[in-house]
């Protein structure tokens, strides 16, 4: 039964690791660190199973699987601390209130990185030199070495390291959960913080047990009870942590899909403006197979299905470039163009957001017509649509403008350029 639970936890850890492979390959430091933590801890859990121990036992070194499990766990925890430090460092860049907390985390990470190497070296030395590994009467590592001072040193170092790291993670994730705006992130961070608090409890229970069996002889029933209780706590630690990590990741997937849908809706407008004013675009739209009937679909797919940058960054770029093109077009717009476009939208029966979208669409269309017809650019903007400071509002506005843009009439747009036209 214990192996079944262990394999379930391994599957969850590997799922998280595989899920984060694309981000790790893109070279993003935070995601690479989190991927490394999941991968390392999955291997450590595999070494707890009968299969994992059997593979390592073929090397002929008694209890080598236990040493490797502990060493890999320390490495995974060290990488996890690096991830926590990186995440909080990003928050601190815009939130001075958490700067002190971040400095503490960064200091702990620096100390933990150095301490991890020393801890692993000392544990390895104690394992090979001090521990009596000829005793095999118990299936449990700690029970086999009960009464040995070397066990207290070996396990004391391991649990001190893991407890300190877990305490830092619990504090950081608990603080982040209180500041989280989205419920999915708040729930996920709370689960992860509780998991780390249980990890501290687990380390305390195991340390107390280790100290007790070093100076007292205990019955096998007591050993079994202790192992069952602490194993249950450990299972809860990893189940809560892994499932908690899935919640923010799920929100990330939702945000990614939403960004992709928005990009798809916005793409036609961005492409037309980018082709009209290529000087303000970071990367020109694809132009494969010009004139071919499949060219539009092919170019759209090539522009929107790139692995890098991520959809939300690409969306930010599109919004910025559309705004930049608007500023360029404002040098070609005739005086009062937006007012006439808004009057046209009102006259067609549109109201509120829809009226603004139609006005935006006709303003863009008219300015493009003016530029294409060879109008001389003014030295300063003559007519500019009202601006929005909020990014989300700006995205919604451009999406509505794109929907209205497809319904604009070129002749009407040309007529709007005339300052003496009454709509």
Confidence of residue 163 (pLDDT cuts 50, 70, 90): very high
pLDDT digits (tens, 9 = 90+) for 288-327: 776 667 777 777 777 777 766 788 888 889 888 888 888 8
User: Is 247's pLDDT higher than 50?
Assistant: yes
* CA gyration radius, the chain: 31
How far is it, in rounded angstroms, from Cα 268 to Cα 417? 23
Grade residue 28 by pLDDT with cuts at 50, 70 and 90: low
- Residue 120, pLDDT above cutoff 90: yes
Q: Are 172 and 84 in contact (CB under 8 A)?
A: yes
How large is the average pLDDT for residues 237-254? 85
Q: For position 65, what pLDDT does the model report?
A: 93
DSSP, collapsed to helix, strand or coil, labels residue 164 as: helix
Give dist(CA 198, CA 176) in Å, integer: 18
Q: How many helices (H) and strands (E) does the chain have?
A: 16, 0
In sequence order, the 6+-apart residues with CB closer than 8 A to the CB of 258 are none
Maximum alpha-carbon separation in the chain: 102
The highest-confidence range among 4-18, 129-143, 191-205, 362-376, by mean pLDDT, is 191-205
> What token pair was written down for 357?
């979208």
- Closest CA relative to residue 247, chosen from 197, 182, 194, 312: 182
CB 250 within 8 A of CB 19: no
33 in Cβ contact with 80 (< 8 Å): yes
Cα(172)–Cα(105) distance, integer angstroms: 8
Residue-level pLDDT at 92? 45
Which pLDDT belongs to residue 159?
Answer: 95
Domain ranges within the chain, ordered by starting residue: 2-255, 258-416
Backbone dihedral angles phi then psi of residue 20, each to the nearest 5 degrees: -95, 5
Question: Distance between CA 86 and CA 91 in Å, rounded?
Answer: 9
Mean local confidence (pLDDT), 283-290: 75
Tell me the per-residue pLDDT of 378-420, one tens digit each, with 9 for 90 and over. 777 767 777 777 788 888 888 888 888 888 888 888 878 776 5
Query: Is the distance from CB of 16 to CB of 245 less than 8 angstroms?
Result: yes
The structure's pTM equals 0.71
Task: Please tell me the distance from the alpha carbon of residue 137 to that of residue 57, in angstroms, as a whole number.
Answer: 16
Q: Which residue has the tokens 């892994």?
A: 242
* Cβ-based neighbours of 389, under 8 Å, separated by 6 or more: none
Domain 2-255 has CATH 1.20.1070: yes
Asked if the model's pLDDT at residue 43 lies above 90, the reply is yes
Q: According to the model, what pLDDT value does residue 93 have?
A: 47
Q: Which tokens is 2 given?
A: 């214990």
Measured CA distances, 72 to 79, 320, 397 (Å): 11, 45, 51
Residue 19 has pLDDT above 90, yes or no: no
Quote the CA–CA distance of 236 and 121 in Å, as a whole number. 30
* pLDDT recorded at residue 87: 62
Proportion of the chain above pLDDT 70, given as a percent: 91
Instruction: Tell me the per-residue pLDDT of 193-222, one tens digit each, with 9 for 90 and over.
Output: 999 999 999 999 999 999 999 999 888 999
Q: What is the mean pLDDT of the chain?
A: 84
Region 99-111: mean pLDDT is 68
List the structure tokens of 59. 């090397």
The predicted pLDDT at position 408 comes to: 85
Straight-line distance from the first to the last Cα atom of the chain, in angstroms, rounded to the nearest whole number: 78
The two tokens of residue 350 are 């549109």
Q: What is the mean pLDDT of residues 124-145?
A: 88
Find the mean pLDDT for residues 218-245.
92
Q: Are 197 and 221 in contact (CB under 8 A)?
A: no
Range in 75-79, 264-268, 418-422 with the lowest mean pLDDT: 418-422
Confidence at 283, pLDDT banded by 50, 70, 90: confident
Residue 147 has pLDDT above 80, yes or no: yes
- Average pLDDT rounded to a whole number, residues 168-195: 87
Structure tokens at 131: 């521990």
């Amino acid at each position: 039964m214990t192996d079944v639970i262990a394999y379930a936890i391994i599957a969850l850890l590997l799922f998280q690791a595989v899920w984060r492979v694309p981000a790790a390959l893109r070279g993003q430091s935070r995601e690479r660190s989190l991927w490394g933590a999941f991968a390392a801890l999955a291997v450590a859990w595999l070494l707890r199973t009968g299969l994992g121990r059997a593979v390592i036992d073929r090397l002929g070194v008694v209890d080598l699987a236990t040493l490797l499990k502990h060493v890999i766990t320390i490495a995974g925890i060290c990488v996890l601390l690096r991830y926590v430090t990186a995440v909080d460092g990003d928050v601190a860049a815009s939130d001075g209130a958490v700067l002190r907390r971040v400095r503490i985390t960064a200091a702990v990470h620096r100390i933990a990185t150095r301490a991890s190497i020393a801890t692993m070296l000392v544990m390895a030395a104690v394992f090979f030199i001090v521990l009596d590994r000829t005793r095999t009467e118990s299936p449990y590592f700690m029970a086999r070495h009960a009464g040995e001072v070397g066990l207290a040193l070996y396990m004391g170092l391991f649990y001190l390291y893991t407890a300190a790291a877990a305490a830092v993670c619990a504090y950081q994730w608990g603080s982040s959960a209180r500041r989280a705006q989205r419920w999915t992130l708040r729930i996920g961070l709370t689960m992860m913080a509780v998991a780390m608090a249980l990890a501290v409890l687990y380390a305390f229970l195991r340390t107390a047990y280790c100290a007790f069996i070093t100076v007292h002889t205990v019955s096998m029933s007591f050993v079994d009870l202790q192992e069952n209780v602490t194993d249950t706590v450990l299972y809860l630690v990893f189940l809560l942590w892994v499932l908690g990590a899935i919640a923010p990741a799920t929100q990330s997937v939702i945000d990614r899909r939403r960004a992709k849908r928005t990009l798809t809706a916005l793409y036609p407008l961005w492409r037309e403006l980018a082709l009209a004013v290529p000087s303000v675009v970071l990367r020109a739209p694809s132009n494969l197979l010009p004139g071919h009937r499949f060219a539009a679909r092919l170019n759209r797919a090539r522009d929107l299905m790139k692995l890098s940058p991520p959809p939300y960054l690409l969306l930010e770029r599109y919004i910025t470039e559309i705004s930049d093109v608007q500023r360029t077009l404002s040098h070609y717009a005739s005086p009062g163009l937006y007012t006439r476009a808004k009057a046209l939208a009102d006259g067609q029966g549109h109201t509120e957001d829809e009226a603004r979208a139609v006005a935006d669409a006709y303003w863009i269309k008219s300015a493009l017509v003016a530029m294409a017809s060879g109008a001389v650019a003014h030295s300063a903007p003559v007519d500019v649509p009202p601006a929005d400071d909020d990014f989300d509002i700006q995205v919604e506005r451009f999406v509505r403008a794109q929907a209205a843009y497809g319904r604009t009439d070129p002749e009407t747009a040309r007529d709007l350029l005339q300052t003496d036209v009454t709509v």
